[in-house]
Amino acid sequence: MVQSGTQAQRLRWIEGQRLLLQKRFSSVGPPEMIQLLPGARVTGALPDRPRFNGSWQAVSLRSAASLTGDDEGVALRTPFVLREYSDAVFAYDAELHEQELTTLPTDFAYPQVEPPGEIEITAGPDVDFDAGSAIVSRLRFAAPPSPTASVTHYELQMTNVTADEPGAWISGGLIDADLRDTSGKVYGWIHNPPVHPEFDIRLRAMVGSSASPWVVKESVSVDFEITVNSATAGAGEAGFNVTMPGTLIGQGARIWRAETGDGFGAAGDIGGVLAVGPGETADITAAADAGEADFFVTAVSRTGSDGPAAGPFTLTIT
């Protein structure tokens, strides 16, 4: 609410003068004092107490009925407390009391923070974490550090691939500036990334609250696309020779069927999850109605998520 330094000086001086007024006067007044309100100005003169003459400010007034005399009559009395007051408190003389203001030179410009280098992504069985009872899918990212010597940490963000906010940037955490791999690069992990679709990540260097430009890595994904080596139409079934992706999170493959030309979005699962180990090559089959149709194959993770679809493979089932 204070708009200037000189105004602040005036308020400080007035407050200081008010603190010098230490006198308090407490007594019981006549009923007429009930008209006063706390904060009201009072001017009084007491012939036998001249040191109390002058200006006062009402602090509190508590009017109350009081019994008087032997006949138990009732009178209205007003106990009150007054505080010393003086107009001199506000007698501010700018020439006398105002202090010279000195504006110190201030540079609010932040030093330029250089960005880290290009982001590298590593995925696969060497990156997945095998906890024995569970497999944790991971992506490892690494980048040459920022050349700015005073970097305190790095910030990671990635795009959200959920249906609620597709494409929105979400936090991926902070990386301490001293965390380096054997090649001297800043690195970290993205745990349980989606197996499909792809997403983007970005990294920037931070010096306190100052930040470098973002370095973006687009189309990041777990390598979870199945390879179909051959597709065969049989009697009442469709058969495929597939090679599963190497990541340890895979549990098998799934075969899908759609009317010719309708695309994967219209396809339905016709065989359930067919067990194939990570990195293995195997033959899989599923019962299918006779006639021409398009077939697709996906890898399935341990959590039941499907990777990108391979296909279509147009087969005529006999």
- Closest of 191, 200, 195 to residue 169, by C-alpha: 200
Q: Which of 189, 220, 251 is the last residue of a domain?
A: 220
pLDDT at residue 38, rounded to an integer: 83
Q: Model confidence at 156, in pLDDT bands (50, 70, 90)? A: very high
Q: Model confidence at 19, in pLDDT bands (50, 70, 90)? A: confident
| Same domain for 79 and 29 | yes
Is 301 part of a structural domain of the chain?
yes
pLDDT at residue 71, rounded to an integer: 62
Is 58 part of a structural domain of the chain?
yes
Is 111 part of a structural domain of the chain?
no
Q: Which of 200, 220, 240 is the last residue of a domain?
A: 220
Instruction: Indicate the range of 120-124, 127-131, 141-145, 202-206 predicted with least confidence.
Output: 127-131
pLDDT at residue 180, rounded to an integer: 92
The dihedral region occupied by 211, where left means phi > 0, alpha psi between -120 and 50, and beta the remainder, is beta
pLDDT at residue 125, rounded to an integer: 80
| pLDDT tens string 81-103 | 988 888 888 888 888 888 887 77
Instruction: Determine the Cα–Cα distance for residues 259 and 33; give it in Å rounded to an integer.
Output: 97
| Same domain for 308 and 263 | yes
| Same domain for 238 and 216 | no
pLDDT at residue 50, rounded to an integer: 78
Q: Which of 62, 97, 132 is the last residue of a domain?
A: 97
Q: Model confidence at 147, in pLDDT bands (50, 70, 90)? A: very high
pLDDT at residue 158, rounded to an integer: 93
Pairwise pLDDT comparison (44 vs 207), residue with the higher score: 207
Is 110 part of a structural domain of the chain?
no
Is 103 part of a structural domain of the chain?
no
pLDDT at residue 70, rounded to an integer: 61
pLDDT at residue 231, rounded to an integer: 96
Rounded to 5 degrees, what angle do the CA atoms 34, 17, 12 make?
A: 115
Is 20 part of a structural domain of the chain?
yes
Q: Model confidence at 206, in pLDDT bands (50, 70, 90)? A: very high
What domain count does the chain have? 3
| Same domain for 234 and 306 | yes
The dihedral region occupied by 228, where left means phi > 0, alpha psi between -120 and 50, and beta the remainder, is beta
| Same domain for 67 and 131 | no
- Closest of 268, 238, 255 to residue 298, by C-alpha: 255
Pairwise pLDDT comparison (297 vs 271), residue with the higher score: 297
Average pLDDT, the chain: 87
Q: Which domain holds residue 27?
A: 5-97
- DSSP string over the chain: ---SHHHHHHHHHHHHHHHH---EEEEEE-GGGGG--TT-EEEE--TT-GGG-EEEEEEEE--EEEEETTTTEEEEEEEEEEEEE-GGGG---HHHHPPPP-------PPPPPPP----EEE-STTTSEE-SS-EE-EEEEEEPPPS-TT--EEEEEEE--SSSSTT-EEEEEEEETT-B-TTS-EEEEEES--SSS-EEEEEEEEETTEEPPPEEEEEE------EEEEEEE-SSEEEEEEE--S-TTEEEEEEEEE-TTS-GGG-EESS-PEE--TT-EEEEEEE--SEEEEEEEEEEETTS-B-PPEEEEEEEE-
| Same domain for 285 and 258 | yes
| Same domain for 290 and 253 | yes
Summarize the confidence of residues 181-190 as an average pLDDT. Answer: 93
CATH code (residue 166): 2.60.40.10
Residue 297 scores a pLDDT above 90: yes
**Residue 149: which residues within 8 A CB-CB, separation 6 or more?**
none
Summarize the confidence of residues 56-74 as an average pLDDT. Answer: 75
Summarize the confidence of residues 179-186 as an average pLDDT. Answer: 93
Is 79 part of a structural domain of the chain?
yes
The dihedral region occupied by 69, where left means phi > 0, alpha psi between -120 and 50, and beta the remainder, is left
pLDDT at residue 174, rounded to an integer: 93
| Same domain for 76 and 132 | no
Is 202 part of a structural domain of the chain?
yes
pLDDT at residue 228, rounded to an integer: 96
Instruction: Indicate the range of 107-116, 132-141, 165-174, 245-254 predicted with least confidence.
Output: 107-116
- Closest of 92, 40, 88 to residue 61, by C-alpha: 40
Residue 276 scores a pLDDT above 90: yes
pLDDT at residue 247, rounded to an integer: 83
